[in-house]
Structure 1
């Protein structure tokens, strides 16, 4: 793996926004910063999430989005997009979901971060861009971005790079995890391989374990009924 460029470091506190008749508290809107900032176990200083049930926490401390996808979305949305347009903390260049694996770790300034799961497209994307199908489009393309957990806290500068430290031995990419979650749901052999990756976030692990357990139960029931 090679060093990955950070195009923009973005933070923003939650605020109430009006979307038509809806009032939503969201931390989606991030501002590019130019100074170094501290990265804790849960977020950058100055950053936050409006919905702590589905966003944020130690396994989703940093949201990352590849700039390589921006041109696709600019064509889809018929508008120019600035860095942070997908609510990400890090807009990066040189690494996409195909290139990075669950459990890979990186040096980020003084901090050490690790890939925990793909990003799950949120309904707030639909509200912000007034395209109700946008979360599904993000899911279907696989252009989701991904999350870091923080293994070591420290200062991070916008001029820092993501420096690869370790690659998870199973080498299951974020793109592969997306495929199993959203598309090839019956590929249980691949799901079991993914579950061997101990660094997979608890929320995604729980979903896949339920899927495997349900299939195993159905299989057992069929076998017990055979003569």
Structure 2
């Protein structure tokens, strides 16, 4: 819940690097993050961090990627595995920031920086290649446990033991979980789409796509 103490379980960054997958295949990706002690967070993201696919990842609205630590036990149990922390390429693995509780537009203090939730994370096939679990990607979309992205309102140093504190809840109360259901369910009606679009702080990419879908329904 938003009033529970948030714990930063793992803090990770990395520039894109080669990752082997499948039967001797290789790709350049930023999903394989390394745990760090501290890093400076700028408007563009953490210093020393990067993405392999600039079209679908990164940018001011997607400067920070977060994932709920609680979901790891779910995936480990369901797929009888032991996923490493930051398996989904997130910078921050956190407790007490579940998708049902975290709202688009909410503002959090993160160490010396300030961040704002902008959208749910859109998972891609790189997760399958990283984890070697074929059905995990489908389950992530089905559950809405995708992780979420943030823009940076105030730059600053973040450390592995930095506090994360909700400093400005969003009055519209549109959760990441609700936003994901609307975004990934192409059969969602006008009401759900409009509710998400009413959040002014929504990421531009999501706003453009959802507005386009809404226009087709009118």
The answer to whether the superposition gives a TM-score over 0.5 is yes
Aligned positions, number: 215
For residue 9 of structure 2, the aligned residue among 2, 7, 31 is 7
Q: What is the aligned partner in structure 1 of residue 100 from structure 2?
A: 98
Gaps of 5+ in 1: 217-227
Determine which structure has more spread, i.e. the larger CA radius of gyration: 1
Runs of 4+ in 1 over 6 A off after TM superposition: none
> Deviation at 1:97?
0.2
Superposition pairs of residues 35-46 of structure 1, within 5 angstroms: 36-46=38-48
Q: What is the aligned partner in structure 2 of residue 223 from structure 1?
A: none
Does residue 141 (structure 1) correspond to residue 155 (structure 2)? The answer is no
> Deviation at 1:21?
5.3
* Distance in 2 of aligned mates of 1:83 and 1:21: 24
Alignment root-mean-square deviation, CA: 1.4
1:67-104 superposed Cα distances (whole Å, 9 cap, x missing partner): 11001111233221222111110000111000110000
For residue 161 of structure 1, the aligned residue among 146, 160, 163 is 163
* Distance in 2 of aligned mates of 1:109 and 1:57: 21
Counterpart contact for 1:121–1:136, Cα < 8 Å: no
Q: What is the aligned partner in structure 2 of residue 114 from structure 1?
A: 116
Q: Please give the secondary structure, in 2, of the residue aligned with 1:4.
A: coil
Does residue 29 (structure 1) correspond to residue 32 (structure 2)? The answer is yes
Counterpart contact for 1:108–1:162, Cα < 8 Å: yes
* Distance in 1 of aligned mates of 2:101 and 2:174: 10
Q: TM-score, normalised by structure 1?
A: 0.90
Counterpart contact for 1:5–1:162, Cα < 8 Å: yes
